[in-house]
Amino acid sequence: MLRAIVFLEWAAIAWAALNATEDSTRLTINNDRLFASVDKSIGAIDRLTLDGQDLLGARSGNTGIGPYLDCYCVPSGAYTPGRIDPVYTLLQGTDASKTAWAGVVMSETYPATGQVLEQYWFLRDGETGIHTFSRLAYHNSTTQFLRNLQEFRTLFRPNTKLWTNLSTNAIQYAPLPNPNPAAGGKGDFVTVQDATWYLPNRSDPYVIQESDYFTKYTFSDIWRDHRVHGLFADGSTSPDGSTYGAWVVMNTVDTYFGGPKNSDLVVDGILYNYIVSNHHGNGTPNITNGFDRTFGPAYHHFNKGPAGTTLEESREDALQYASPEWNAEFYDSIAVYVPNYVPTSGRGTWKGSIRLPRDAKKPIAILTQNKADFQDNVIDTKAYQYWADIDPSSGAVQIPRVKAGAYRLTVYAEDIFGHFTQDNIVVKAGKTASTKVQWKAESAGTELFRIGTPDRSSGEYRHGYERDPTHPLHPEEYRIYWAAYDYPTDFPNGVQFKVGESDVAKDLNYVHWSVFGGYANSVRPEPYYGNGDVNNWTIAFDTTKRDLQHKSKATFTIQLAGAKTAAGNTDNYNATEPYSNLPYTVVVNGHALEPWIILYYHSSSCAVRSSVSCYNIAHKFVFDTKLLKAGENSLVLSLPFNATNYESALLPRSVYVQYDALRLELS
Ligand SMILES: *[C@@H]1O[C@H](CO)[C@@H](O)[C@H](O)[C@H]1NC(C)=O
Ligand SMILES: *[C@@H]1O[C@H](CO)[C@@H](O)[C@H](O)[C@H]1NC(C)=O
Ligand SMILES: *[C@@H]1O[C@H](CO)[C@@H](O)[C@H](O)[C@H]1NC(C)=O
Ligand SMILES: *[C@@H]1O[C@H](CO)[C@@H](O)[C@H](O)[C@H]1NC(C)=O
Ligand SMILES: *[C@@H]1O[C@H](CO)[C@@H](O)[C@H](O)[C@H]1NC(C)=O
Ligand SMILES: *[C@@H]1O[C@H](CO)[C@@H](O)[C@H](O)[C@H]1NC(C)=O
Ligand SMILES: *[C@@H]1O[C@H](CO)[C@@H](O)[C@H](O)[C@H]1NC(C)=O
Ligand SMILES: *[C@@H]1O[C@H](CO)[C@@H](O)[C@H](O)[C@H]1NC(C)=O
């Protein structure tokens, strides 16, 4: 039923309610409600209207445009394709349901390297949104290795007073600050850290409702439960009080990287589709000869509501499209124009039946690159990724539209240490693959105690998920600039935690620093080194003679939500930096165990970029129970004193770790 015409010449053809036109300067696609026009000289949409309302504002430099493609992927770094030698294609057709659609493709070969960068925009009749795909291809046999793909993203970057609010998800939203330094606004604000500002205007609704500080990271999110994010216009700025929404719907996630724990920026005044970045320690793929990946589809949904429509109502309208099954037939119809897109005929269903450990909460099943940690799902650039919640009572889980191939299955759950993996899960096109497995929780004997919740985050500790009591929107505290929480004030005697008596939400900080304050801390510009009360944390616990009887081996497990070594967000080893690899020590009743060396390529810039969950790592310290005694025992969790690294950007120099959960077992 596919009927499509590729216009190689400038042309204009009218369908019932959908037009696609091209002239010497622009390509335009519109239906009776949405109008989008690409300027050929910049490779970007620079005119976008919904029911006649301008959603972008006037173009000025890189504002007033989008969605457009942008990367950090050429040898010198940043590049915005479409400005050197773009080639355009106008597409039009009807899909299997006889619905008319139109599309624009921008393709550019970067002359110095031969990299191909492409952006696809599709509009369907009856919809008020744009389906986007973005592609990078590199075929160069003389230079096999180009660089890492450090950033790949699309931006919707308005230059209009229309937009009034930011929305990350159902609980994280706020008025846009005015001026907005993250979107290039000029005015009265103080830079306190890289891309982090203190806003002095006490009358700014953002300051009143959300925080004195604004950072693009405040509005980031983790992919697992993320569906849509956007900008909202609450009616106060539109001519007739109508509301508007600009939403990015992550209707498919299989072409992103890093699995469900990938986290990134979503909106800060600019509305992003962050396809790849190393933020929060996310892995980035290498661009090597043969790299060819098309990311998407993502759906940019624009909506209009009558005066009084709430942000949440506008968000929920976008949410209805957040499913990989939505519009699958349409995507099949256009697949012939989108290299690498895997149509339904190349996909199957995966069904799991997982016997879970008792008390497993919020269990998840993940399919990623075979034989690799799901967080490293960037090594094989052909690998796709999927995840779904497992029904905790039955253990059933199902994932539709899985690209045919072999996967690693990973299962984890809240309250359970460790995780389950099984390789060689094969999904065949047009078939349902079933997997029946049992996950037996790891155990190293009798559990003497545990601290925190194994949930891959440090959110349960002080200043993590706790809601800020001082602002009406009560943001989760970790989302705010870290220096707002002064460690030496909160912990005047350092961390002294007594198992069974202390409270994790009060008596353990969400970050274990080596040194606090100094560079990039505007509240405490002089470093506080302390005398071991910063870098050394003490955990005290009681045991009895009976606990220790017939036990010879003690296993102390540390799961980290994130760790920052001198490598920061990069995977680069710097030989001149003493803490590229970070030694972490546990001292049992005065006896230091062999240090755990946290490797540079497991480093994340996490808490300082407003996160409690980055690249997860874990270690088991195994020691002789002879080091323990009946009565009170102590464990000192020790980072090197005053351990810092050189930072090229305005970021704190201290290394640090963020705990997920700890436990001591005896056998
Ligand atoms: C498409 O173009 C035709 C001819 O210019 C015009 O009559 C029609 O209104 C247009 N339709 C839309 C949806 O813009
Ligand atoms: C391959 O890469 C090298 C180095 O970047 C460049 O000089 C050469 O022109 C590229 N080859 C092609 C075919 O683009
Ligand atoms: C949206 O922003 C406006 C203008 O700053 C503010 O009055 C309103 O409270 C915000 N709404 C939400 C839901 O944050
Ligand atoms: C402070 O914010 C209010 C409310 O947005 C605004 O009217 C006022 O102009 C701002 N003041 C300055 C100095 O920017
Ligand atoms: C990228 O290439 C570098 C250098 O060969 C290698 O060390 C690194 O592991 C590669 N990373 C990935 C994700 O493939
Ligand atoms: C911290 O703990 C380690 C290990 O017990 C110890 O060597 C060090 O002296 C302590 N104090 C400081 C300031 O690092
Ligand atoms: C390595 O660290 C030193 C400072 O210790 C810094 O001057 C240098 O730029 C770093 N090298 C790289 C490649 O980042
Ligand atoms: C901490 O380290 C910095 C340099 O890394 C040094 O200048 C400072 O004197 C050190 N402070 C203490 C108390 O050791």
Question: Mean pLDDT, 10 residues at a time, over the chain (667 residues)?
Answer: 38 65 98 98 98 98 97 98 97 95 98 97 97 98 97 98 98 96 90 96 97 97 98 98 98 98 98 97 97 98 98 98 98 98 98 97 98 97 98 98 98 98 98 98 98 98 98 98 98 98 98 97 98 98 98 98 96 96 98 98 97 98 98 98 96 98 98
Task: Tell which residue, 610, 658, 606, has the closest CA to residue 218.
Answer: 610
Cα(147)–Cα(598) distance, integer angstroms: 25
What is the rounded CA–CA span in Å between residue 623 and residue 159? 61
Find the helix or strand (DSSP H, E) in which 545 lies. Answer: helix 545-548
Compute the half-sphere exposure of residue 69: CA atoms within 13 Å on the CB side of its CA.
Answer: 29
Query: Minimum-distance ligand to the CA of 15?
Result: 1
Task: Give the whole-angstrom CA distance, residue 497 versus residue 506.
Answer: 10
Whole-number Cα distances in Å, 591 to 532, 554, 588, 628, 634: 16, 14, 5, 10, 10
Which ligand sits closest to the CA of 13? 1
Distance between CA 169 and CA 523 in Å, rounded? 29
Question: Which ligand sits nearest to residue 309's alpha carbon?
Answer: 3
CATH topology of domain 446-666: Jelly Rolls (2.60.120)
Residue 621: φ, ψ to 5°:
-90, 120
Per-domain residue ranges of the chain: 3-160+246-301+321-337, 175-218, 344-438, 446-666
Ligand 8 lining (C-beta closer than 6 Å): 529, 642, 644
Could you write out the DSSP letters of every residue in 348-365? EEEEEEEEPPTT-EEEEE
Does the CA dihedral 183-184-185-191 come out positive or negative? positive
Structure tokens at 32: 């009776």
Count Cα atoms within 13 angstroms, Cβ side, for 351: 5
Atom 1 (ligand 5) nearest CA:
286
Q: What is the DSSP letter of 259?
A: G
Domain 3-160+246-301+321-337 has CATH 2.70.98: yes
The Cα–Cα gap between 148 and 569 comes to: 13
Burial 501-521 (b: 16+ CB within 10 A, else e): ebebbebbbbbbbbbbbbebb
Residue 11 confidence (pLDDT): 41
* Residues in contact with 394: Cβ distance below 8 Å, sequence separation at least 6, in sequence order: none
Which residue spans within 283-419 are E strands per DSSP? 286-288, 291-305, 347-355, 361-369, 386-389, 396-403, 405-414
Q: What is the 636 CA–ligand 6 centroid distance (Å)?
A: 8
Separation between Cα atoms, residue 232 and residue 235, nearest integer Å: 9
142 alpha carbon – ligand 2 mean position (Å): 7
Ligand 8 mean position to 642 CA, how many Å? 6
Angstrom distances, CA of residue 233 to CA of 245, 322, 422, 563: 6, 21, 47, 38
- Pocket mutation for ligand 8, best pick of 519, 642, 644 (most atoms within 8 Å of C-beta): 642
Q: Which atom of ligand 7 is nearest to the CA of 574?
A: 1
Contact at 8 Å (CB) between 397 and 352? yes
Proximal ligand: closest to the CA of 201: 4
Cα 59 to ligand 7 centre (Å):
39
User: 532 CA to middle of ligand 6, Å?
Assistant: 6
Ligand 7, atom 13, residue with closest C-alpha? 574
Would the CB of 171 count as within 6 Å of ligand 1? no
Q: What tokens does 181 get?
A: 């330094």
CATH of domain 344-438: 2.60.40.1120
How many Cα atoms sit within 13 Å of 375 on the Cβ side?
Answer: 21
d(CA 653, CA 566): 8
Q: Which ligand is nearest to the CA of 375?
A: 5
pLDDT at 556: 99
Tokens of 513: 């620093």
**Residue owning the nearest CA to atom 8 of ligand 3:** 175
| Cβ of 209 below 6 Å from ligand 4 | no
Sign of CA dihedral 562, 565, 568, 574: negative
Q: Which of 108, 110, 143 to mutate to test the pocket of ligand 2 (most atoms within 8 A of CB)?
A: 143
How much distance in Å is there from the Cα of 265 to the middle of ligand 7?
27
Count helices and strands in the chain by DSSP H and E runs: 6, 45
Ligand 7 residue neighbourhood (C-beta within 6 Å): 574, 576-577, 646
CB 277 within 8 A of CB 217: no
For a mutational test of ligand 6's pocket, the pick from 531, 533, 536, i.e. the residue with the most ligand atoms closer than 8 A to its C-beta, is 536
The residues near 41 (Cβ < 8 Å, ≥ 6 apart) are: 25, 83
Rounded Cα gap, residues 41 and 37, in angstroms: 12
Give distance in angstroms: CA of 421 to centre of ligand 8.
44
Asked if 610 contacts 459 with a C-beta cutoff of 8 angstroms, the reply is no
Whole-number Å distance between alpha carbons of 6 and 590? 75
- Pairing state of beta strands 286-288 and 291-305? unpaired
Give pLDDT, residue 16.
57
**CA 652–ligand 8 middle distance (angstroms):** 14
Which residues contact residue 443 at a Cβ distance below 8 angstroms, ignoring those fewer than 6 apart? 665
Question: Tell me, what's the pLDDT at 12?
Answer: 45
Question: What residues contact residue 64 under an 8 Å CB cut-off, 6+ apart?
Answer: 46, 56, 57, 58, 157, 158, 159, 160
Ligand 2 near 140 CB (within 6 A): yes
- In 3D space, the residue among 422, 425, 665 whose CA is nearest the CA of residue 556 turns out to be 665
Residue matched to tokens 């690209």: 403
Atom of ligand 6 nearest to the CA of 585: 4
In this structure, the residue with its CA closest to atom 9 of ligand 8 is 642
* Mutation probe of ligand 7 site: the residue of 148, 569, 645, 646 with most atoms within 8 A of C-beta: 646
Angstrom distances, CA of residue 430 to CA of 340, 347, 436, 581: 18, 6, 20, 47
Residue closest via CA to ligand 7's atom 10 equals 574
CA distances from 595 to 74, 553, 576 (A): 39, 18, 21
pLDDT value of residue 185: 87
Interval between CA 179 and ligand 4 midpoint (Å)? 9
Asked whether the beta carbons of 81 and 113 are under 8 A apart, the reply is: no
Distance 151 CA to ligand 7 centre (A): 21
The pLDDT, as a whole number, for residue 5 is 41
